[in-house]
Amino acid sequence: MKIISYNVNGIRAAMSKGLLEWIKTESPDVLCLQETKAQPEQIDTFAFAELGYTVYMHSAQKKGYSGVAIITKQKPDKVTIGMDNPLYDAEGRVIRADYGDLSVVSVYIPSGSSGDERQAFKMTFLDAFLPFVENLKKIRPNLIICGDYNICHKPIDINHPERQTGVSGFLPEEREWMDRYESSGMIDSFRLFDSSPEKYSWWSYRAGARKRNAGWRIDYHWVTTPLQDKLKSASILSDVVHSDHCPVSVEIEI
């Protein structure tokens, strides 16, 4: 099974830039999207159906904001919307699809870059997300939790880390949360296969950052430990350009 995660920074904008053609060529079994910025009625689901996919969305109440989706070839046994937490579910942050004993989660962790209020919201989300995952593991131990985490875990995951002091997305408290997340039994799938530097999944639109590869690795497939031996590959598809992010991919034997 090939599972791709992609923050599309607006699914309608990405579709206008050739997203559907790329999906047809890449042919993932499951495509997890973040920052869809659309309501279900605003998406041409027939266009995905023509490619053999069904679309499941969790949109924010605020139009044109946030939102996650799972686009899948195989019909899931069950799709679960949200975290059962009205505060975060109003922003369309989490959606889960179950396939047999495997569950795939698409998550869009809040950004704190717009100011102190949103940074505080991000930290409260993280405080709620970790126990949410811990409880989920009790009933669904085989988890792939993919998406835009808006956190660079380690210095290798960000360009010029020495210049990023005090920057949201690389704050000590955010990275410490990621340490706890990892220690809870989660595996950063990409780093199992690639320990090299300068591998990023997001670049600012400003100052030619992508051309200079002045990026951040904030998009992940974290998997629970029972799945480690089933992982076949993990990669960053940095040449794919429909967004300020690029897709990240994992292949797993099921």
Q: List, for residues 157-206, the tens digit of each pLDDT value.
A: 999 999 999 999 999 999 999 999 999 999 999 999 999 999 999 999 99
Q: What is the CATH number of the domain that holds 23?
A: 3.60.10.10
Task: Provide the pLDDT confidence category of residue 254 given band limits of 50, 70 and 90.
Answer: confident
Measured between alpha carbons, how far is 180 from 46 in angstroms, rounded to an integer? 41
Provide the residue range defining the domain that includes 107: 2-252
| pLDDT mean across residues, the chain | 97
Count other Cβ atoms within 10 Å, centred on residue 242. 21
Cβ atoms of 56 and 30 within 8 Å: the answer is: no
Measured N-to-C along each axis, helices 172-183 and 116-139 cross at an angle, to the nearest 10 degrees, of 0
Cβ atoms of 130 and 139 within 8 Å: the answer is: no
Measured between alpha carbons, how far is 141 from 101 in angstroms, rounded to an integer? 8
Q: Is 20 helix (H, G, I), strand (E, B) or coil?
A: helix
Measured between alpha carbons, how far is 37 from 178 in angstroms, rounded to an integer? 26
pLDDT single digits (tens) 19-35 = 999 999 999 999 999 99
Annotation says 148 is catalytic: yes
Measured between alpha carbons, how far is 146 from 157 in angstroms, rounded to an integer? 16
Token pair 């940095």 is at which residue?
238
Q: Is 150 helix (H, G, I), strand (E, B) or coil?
A: coil
Mean pLDDT on 106-120: 96
Decide if pLDDT at 248 tops 90.
yes
Q: Given 148, 157, 188, 219, which residue is catalytic? A: 148
For residue 118, the one-letter residue type is R
Count other Cβ atoms within 10 Å, centred on residue 190. 23
Nearest residue to 192 (alpha-carbon basis) of 159, 225, 215, 169: 225
Number of separate domains in the chain: 1
Decide if pLDDT at 141 tops 90.
yes
